[in-house]
Structure 1
Amino acid sequence: MAHLLDDPLPAGMFSPAEEAVIRYARASTWMQTITDEMWADLQAHFDTRQIVEVSFTVGLDQLVSRFHATVHTDVDEATAEATGASCAVSIPPPPT
């Protein structure tokens, strides 16, 4: 998961198809416009069905992540060990 938020992405670390998915997922997660260039980049590597699957997977992850951020789900030991119990996206404070 290292370097997924780097901009630009490190040269040679990801395949061109992976880079297309990473750029798309970041923009979608940050609620930015999916540009024609991003879409064309996805189409260069994936067919329509695969792009729908990528979009569904990204959206499902966003849904689950926002749920956990909302209810402040505790992180289990295995996840904390694997991720360092950190998240690159800041979690808002609980409501008062």
Structure 2
Amino acid sequence: MTDEEMSHLLDDPLPEGMFSPAEAAIIVFARTSTWMQPITDEIYANLQEHFDTKQIMEISFTVGLDQLISRFHATVRTDLDGVTAEATNACAVRIPDAP
């Protein structure tokens, strides 16, 4: 994914034509799951239009694993050195304000 595409992952709705329908289905699923909102029948049906059951399980596992790793790093506030950030094309995620 390009930097421009990455910058639009949180847009609601997603920009028209920037992502393929299959990519958009994954993004909506991942975003909904990450925000700990229910995966609706509509979201799941949209995944089923593009992926079989095994692929949906793999997508779910990948999204869940990423969430686990991200929450760990958010908890300990891991900093990336410049070389790692550049090599991984990492994009900074704003730390939310304290409650």
Identity of aligned residues (%): 67
Aligned partners of 1:24 and 1:38 also within 8 Å: yes
Residue 78 of structure 2: aligned partner: 73
Q: How big is the alpha-carbon RMSD for the aligned residues of Structure 1 and Structure 2?
A: 1.7
Alpha-carbon separation, structure 1, partners of 2:96 and 2:64: 18
Question: Normalising by the residue count of structure 2, what TM-score does the alignment of the two structures yield?
Answer: 0.83
Residue 10 of structure 1: aligned partner: 15
Residue 93 of structure 2 corresponds to residue 87 of structure 1: yes
Instruction: Give runs of aligned pairs for residues 16-95 of structure 1, distance below 5 A.
Output: 16-81=21-86, 82-83=89-90, 86-88=92-94, 90-91=95-96
Aligned partners of 1:69 and 1:91 also within 8 Å: no
Aligned residues: 91
The residue identity in structure 1 corresponding to 2:41 is D
Structure 1 segments of 4+ aligned residues over 4 angstroms from their partners: none
Structure 2: which 5+ residue stretches go unaligned? 1-5
Shift in Å at residue 79 of structure 1? 4.2
Higher relative contact order (CA 8 A, sep 6+): 1
Question: Normalising by the residue count of structure 1, what TM-score does the alignment of the two structures yield?
Answer: 0.86
Alpha-carbon separation, structure 1, partners of 2:49 and 2:81: 39
